[in-house]
Amino acid sequence: MKDKLIFVEGLDKTGKTSLCRKCRFDSGHALAIYDRGFVGRRMFQEFRGETLGSIGNWMLIEDKLIQQELYAIVWLKADINTIINRHFKAGEFLEFSPFQLEAQAEFYCGLLHCREQQGIPILELDTVKYNIDECAYRILRWAGVYS
CATH number of the domain encompassing residue 17 = 3.40.50.300
Range of the domain at 128: 5-143
Partnered with residue 126 across adjacent β-strands are: 77
Percent pLDDT > 90 in the chain is 73
pLDDT at 40: 86
CA distance 10 to 35: 9
pLDDT at 127: 97
Q: How many domains does the chain have?
A: 1
Compute the distance between CA of residue 133 and CA of residue 23 in angstroms, rounded to an integer. Answer: 9
Please check whether residue 95 is in contact with residue 12, taking contact to mean a CB–CB distance below 8 angstroms: yes
Mean pLDDT rounded to a whole number for the chain: 91
Read off the pLDDT band of 55 (50, 70, 90): confident
pLDDT tier at 86 (50, 70, 90 boundaries)?
very high
| 63-79 pLDDT, tens digit each | 899 999 999 999 999 99
- Over residues 101-107, mean pLDDT: 93
β-pair type (71-77, 5-9): parallel
Residue 52 has pLDDT above 80, yes or no: no
